[in-house]
Amino acid sequence: MPTIKELKGQLKQKTDKAPEKYYPVEKLKEKGFQRSRCKNCGKYFWVQGESELCGDPECSGQYTFIGDSPCSKKMDFIKAWQEFSKLFEKLGYTPIKRYPVVARWRDDTYWTNASIYDFQPHVVSGLVEPPANPLVVPQVCMRFNDIDNVGITGRHYTSFVMIGQHAFVPPDQKFDKNQYISDMMDWLEIGMGLPLHEVKFHEDQWGDGGNLGVCMEFFARGLEIGNQVYMLYDVKDDGTYKDLNLKVLDMGMGQERCPWMSMGTATSYECNFPTVVKKLYKETGVKPNQDVIKRFLPYSGLLDMEEDKSIDKTWEEIAEKLSMDVKNLKEETLPLAGLYSIGDHARTLLFAITDGALPSNVGGAYNLRIILRRALGFIDEFGWDVSLQDVCREHAAYLKPQYPELTETVDDLQKIFEIEEKRYQSTKAKSIKIVSRLLEKGFSDAELVSLYDSNGISPEILKEEAKNIGKEIKVPADFYSKVAELHPEVERAKKKDEFNVSGIQPTNILYYSQKGLSFDATVLKVIDKKKIILDKTVFFPTGGGQEHDIGKLNDLNVIDVQKAGGGTVVVHILEKSGLKKGDKVHGVVDKNRRMALSKLHTAAHVIGGAARKVLGSHIWQAGSQIDPNKGRLDITHYKALTEDEKKQIEKLANETIKKGTKISKNVKNKKEAESKYGFTLYQGGAIPGKDIRVVEIPSWDVQACAGTHLDNVSEIIEKPIHNIANTVVDTVDAVMESANGYKQVAETAFETMESIKCLL
C-alpha cells in the first residue's frame, strides 16, 4: 500500500492541474485573490496582488508583525473566542463547550490533540450524530512533543486552544467549501481587522487516519493562523480511495495566534496569559529587556531544539548577529524563557488535572510530571519565590469567562503540587550522591535520560550539583522530548479474536433483559468440538473488567464464555465435547457465581462514587477486575490513601448500601447520554458503537458499563445490618507506592472476599 505521503503526492498532481475542483477557488477569486506559485518551494498559493513567495516563514522570512501588527482590532486571548463565537453564531454555527483534554471516548490516544479528536471516530464515520452541525468549539489540546522549546521560542506551548470550525455533510447536502472559507475570511477581516491583502492561502494536501483530503493553510506576516481541511476520501488497503460517506470540514486555528497577530507582542505568551505574565514579572523581578528580546526573537526559532543539534553553536551565532556576548544574551533570555515556561506549564497542569489526569509515571500522564518538574526546576534554578498553585489560580481567574470549570478545581491542585514537590525535593536530596559519582566518571546522553527516567534526577538538578563542585555538564537540547518518547501515550494490547465466526449472525443477548438464568437455544456452530455458538444466550462473556459466567448446556459444563466477532458473538467453552450444529439445548447459568459477580461489580461502582466524594472530583477509575471472589478497583489519586480516607470511603459506601438505591440500566443514544452525563461515563474506557448501556446509581455514580448489575445497591448485602461492616470494611486497601516513591496511580483494591462468601 502506498504511504500517505505518496497518496498526498498523487493527489497534489491532480490539485495542481485542476485547483477549482478541490479548493474554494470561486470565493478566492471573488475576493480578488490570484493563484501564484512560490518561487522558493514551488507550492501554489493565493494572494491579493503580486507575490513571488508563499507565506511560510521558510520562504517569506521571519515574523514581521512583532511590534507592527497589521490588525485594526486588538484582542487578548479571552476576547478572541468571545468575538469568534459571536461572529460564527451569526453565520449559522453553534458554539459548543470544549471536550476534556483526556480523550476518554477513544482508546487510541490519551490526550486530545486537535479539535477533530472530539468527533473521532464515531461522528466522523457517520455512526453517531454530531452535537450540533455546523459547530465551532474552543478545544484545549495537549501537545508534549516540543517541551524543550516552550518559553524560548516565544510561540511553543504544551497546551493550546484549537478553535475548531466543523461541519459534517451527508451526500445529499452541499459541502460548501466556498462558504466555509468565506466564513473564515469574515473572521480575519471583520473579526480581527486583518486586511485580506495581508493573508496568503496555501494549497495543500492532507492525510491522516485512513482519510485523505485537501486543505488551505492561511498565513499572515510569516505566522500560520489556521488550516482549513476538507476531508474527502476514504483510503482503501490497496491505496485507491473513494468518496467519504460524510464529508467533513475540519478547520483548526490556534486561539493563541489571534491575539498575538492583533497585538504584535514580542512573545505570544504576553497576550495569551497577560495577568500571569505580569504576576510572574513582579514576583521574580525579571524584567524583559524589550530591546534585546525584540532583536532576539526573530532568531529564537533557530533554537528549535528538535531540529537543532549543536545548540551551543547556534547560541554563538545568534549572539554574533546581535553583536552581543553569549553569556550576556543567555542572561537576558533564559530567565524569561523559564518564566514563560512556568506560565505555560501551570496552565497545562490546570486543564489536565481539572479533567481528571494526574502527574504520573505511566502513559500519557507522564508528561504532566515532566512539565511539573521542569517548572519546579526553573523555580529552583533561578531561586524564585513562585507558587505554582498561585499561578494556576491566576490562570483560572483569567480564563473564567471561557472555562468557568477551572475555578472549581483550582483548590484541589494545592495538595497535588505539595506532594509532587516533596517527591521532587526528596529525589534531589537522594540524587546528590549519585550525581557526584557520575560527574567523576562521565556519562552519555542516553544515560542522562535514563537517570531521569528511573531515578527522577532532572538535568536541572544535575547542572546545579555540577556547578557546586565547579564542573559544567552538557544536557541534550531535546532532553525532555527524549524522556517523553520513552513513555508511549497508550499501550495498546488488543487481543485478536481467537475464534473464526465469519458468517455467524450476532448472538441474541438475553443477560440484560432476562431475570431468570435458564433458557432454551439452538446450536449454530461448533468450533474444535468444545466451543459452542448459540442463537441466543444468558451466559455473560468476559468483558469490561468482569469475569464470565459458568453453568450448563444440557448436562455439559460451561467453563468459559468469551466474545468474538468484534463482540457480537458469544462463544461458550465446554469442559467436554458432545454438541453438534442444530442441537436444541437448555442452558442454566450458575446463580452463585453470577450473583457474586453482580454484587462485586455493583460494589465497585458504589466504592468509586464514595472515593470521588471523599477524595475529590479528580478520581477516575483506572481499571477494575471483578472475579467471583474479589473485586479490585484502581483509582487515579496522587498518593496512597490514608487509614482515615479508607475508613471514610468504607463508611460512605456502607451507608449507601444500607440506604438502598435503585440502579437504572438503560441503553441510550451516545450523543444524548454524553450531553446528559458528560464524559465521566467512560470511567471504564471507550465504548464502540452508536448506543451505550448506561448504569446509573442516582446522585452517586453513572457509567457506560456492559457488566451485569444488581437492581438495587442494597442487594450487595442480604445479611443483617451489622454485617455490612464486614462487606466493605477491611476491604479497601491502597497498594503502596513503589519503592522509588513516585509510582502514581494509587491502586485501591477492595476485596469483599469474606463477606461475599458469607452472603452466598
Stretch that binds Zn ion, among 30-38, 150-158, 233-241, 360-368 (CB under 5 A): 30-38
Nearer to Zn ion, 40 or 557 (CB): 40
- Of the candidates 3, 13, 34, 40, which one interacts with Zn ion according to CB under 5 A? 40
**At closest approach, how far in Å is the CB of 43 from Zn ion?**
5
- Dist. CA 104–CA 687, nearest whole Å: 9
Nearer to Zn ion, 138 or 707 (CB): 707
**Contact between residue 202 and residue 54 where contact means Cβ atoms under 8 Å apart:** yes
Task: Count residues near Zn ion (CB under 5 A).
Answer: 8
Cell numbers 512539565 correspond to 371
Phi, psi (degrees; rounded to nearest 5) at 625: -140, 120
Nearer to Zn ion, 24 or 707 (CB): 707
- 134: cis peptide before it, omega within 30°? yes
**At closest approach, how far in Å is the CB of 382 from Zn ion?**
40
**At closest approach, how far in Å is the CB of 34 from Zn ion?**
16
Nearer to Zn ion, 59 or 136 (CB): 59
Nearer to Zn ion, 40 or 522 (CB): 40
**At closest approach, how far in Å is the CB of 440 from Zn ion?**
51
Phi, psi (degrees; rounded to nearest 5) at 560: -155, 150
**At closest approach, how far in Å is the CB of 684 from Zn ion?**
5
Nearer to Zn ion, 327 or 676 (CB): 676
- Geometric angle at alpha carbon 484, from 480 and 489, rounded to 5°: 155
**At closest approach, how far in Å is the CB of 709 from Zn ion?**
7
Nearer to Zn ion, 270 or 701 (CB): 701
Stretch that binds Zn ion, among 35-43, 122-130, 453-461, 713-721 (CB under 5 A): 35-43
Nearer to Zn ion, 61 or 170 (CB): 61
Q: Which of 261, 219, 221 is nearest to 77 (CA)?
A: 261
Distances (CA, A) of 544 to 127, 247, 314, 709: 22, 33, 53, 12
**Contact between residue 247 and residue 231 where contact means Cβ atoms under 8 Å apart:** yes
Stretch that binds Zn ion, among 39-47, 68-76, 317-325, 451-459 (CB under 5 A): 39-47
Question: Using CB under 5 A, which residues numbered 43 to 62 contact Zn ion?
Answer: 54, 56, 59
- Of the candidates 11, 38, 553, 713, which one interacts with Zn ion according to CB under 5 A? 38
**At closest approach, how far in Å is the CB of 343 from Zn ion?**
33
- At position 645, the amino acid (one-letter code) is E
Nearer to Zn ion, 204 or 420 (CB): 204
C-alpha cell at 120: 473521532
- Dist. CA 458–CA 39, nearest whole Å: 46
Question: Which of helix, strand or coil describes residue 584?
Answer: strand
Question: Using CB under 5 A, which residues numbered 700 to 729 contact Zn ion?
Answer: 705, 707
Could you list the beta-strand ranges (E) of 7-133: 33-37, 44-48, 94-95
Phi, psi (degrees; rounded to nearest 5) at 105: -85, 0
**Contact between residue 252 and residue 116 where contact means Cβ atoms under 8 Å apart:** yes
Nearer to Zn ion, 56 or 650 (CB): 56
**At closest approach, how far in Å is the CB of 705 from Zn ion?**
3
**Contact between residue 36 and residue 45 where contact means Cβ atoms under 8 Å apart:** yes
Distances (CA, A) of 381 to 149, 330, 465, 473: 18, 14, 11, 15
**At closest approach, how far in Å is the CB of 565 from Zn ion?**
23
- Dist. CA 45–CA 49, nearest whole Å: 12
**At closest approach, how far in Å is the CB of 606 from Zn ion?**
11
- Of the candidates 1, 41, 429, 721, which one interacts with Zn ion according to CB under 5 A? 41
Nearer to Zn ion, 265 or 621 (CB): 621
Stretch that binds Zn ion, among 34-42, 280-288, 330-338, 659-667 (CB under 5 A): 34-42
Nearer to Zn ion, 203 or 478 (CB): 203
Distances (CA, A) of 696 to 78, 259, 330, 545: 37, 43, 57, 17
- At position 430, the amino acid (one-letter code) is K
- Geometric angle at alpha carbon 364, from 127 and 411, rounded to 5°: 100
**At closest approach, how far in Å is the CB of 707 from Zn ion?**
4
Nearer to Zn ion, 40 or 577 (CB): 40
Alpha-helical (H) ranges within 134-273 are: 177-186, 257-263, 269-272
Distances (CA, A) of 161 to 99, 138, 272, 342, 718: 11, 6, 11, 18, 51
Q: Which of 139, 120, 129 is nearest to 210 (CA)?
A: 120
Residue 277, C-beta contacts closer than 8 angstroms, at least 6 positions apart: 269, 270, 339, 340, 343
Could you list the beta-strand ranges (E) of 221-338: 223-235, 241-254
Nearer to Zn ion, 448 or 633 (CB): 633
Stretch that binds Zn ion, among 33-41, 216-224, 401-409, 549-557 (CB under 5 A): 33-41
Distances (CA, A) of 694 to 99, 283, 672: 20, 49, 11
**Contact between residue 20 and residue 177 where contact means Cβ atoms under 8 Å apart:** no
Most distant CA atoms of the chain, gap in Å:
91
**At closest approach, how far in Å is the CB of 499 from Zn ion?**
25
The HSE-up count of residue 276 (CA atoms within 13 Å, CB side) is: 30
**At closest approach, how far in Å is the CB of 224 from Zn ion?**
12
- Decide the pairing of beta strands 508-509 and 536-537: parallel
Distances (CA, A) of 189 to 60, 163, 220, 283: 22, 17, 12, 39
Stretch that binds Zn ion, among 31-39, 156-164, 465-473, 519-527 (CB under 5 A): 31-39
**At closest approach, how far in Å is the CB of 520 from Zn ion?**
29
- 401: cis peptide before it, omega within 30°? no
**At closest approach, how far in Å is the CB of 37 from Zn ion?**
9
Nearer to Zn ion, 52 or 575 (CB): 52
Nearer to Zn ion, 744 or 752 (CB): 752
Residue 663 engages Zn ion in binding (rule: CB under 5 A):
no
**At closest approach, how far in Å is the CB of 732 from Zn ion?**
17
Nearer to Zn ion, 28 or 59 (CB): 59
- The DSSP bridge partners found for residue 216 are 203, 228
**At closest approach, how far in Å is the CB of 50 from Zn ion?**
15
- Using only the alpha carbons of the chain, give its radius of gyration: 29
**At closest approach, how far in Å is the CB of 90 from Zn ion?**
35
Nearer to Zn ion, 264 or 707 (CB): 707
Question: Using CB under 5 A, which residues numbered 55 to 94 contact Zn ion?
Answer: 56, 59
Question: Which of helix, strand or coil describes residue 223?
Answer: strand
C-alpha cell at 541: 462473556
Residues lying near Zn ion in the complex (CB under 5 A) are found at 38, 40-41, 54, 56, 59, 705, 707
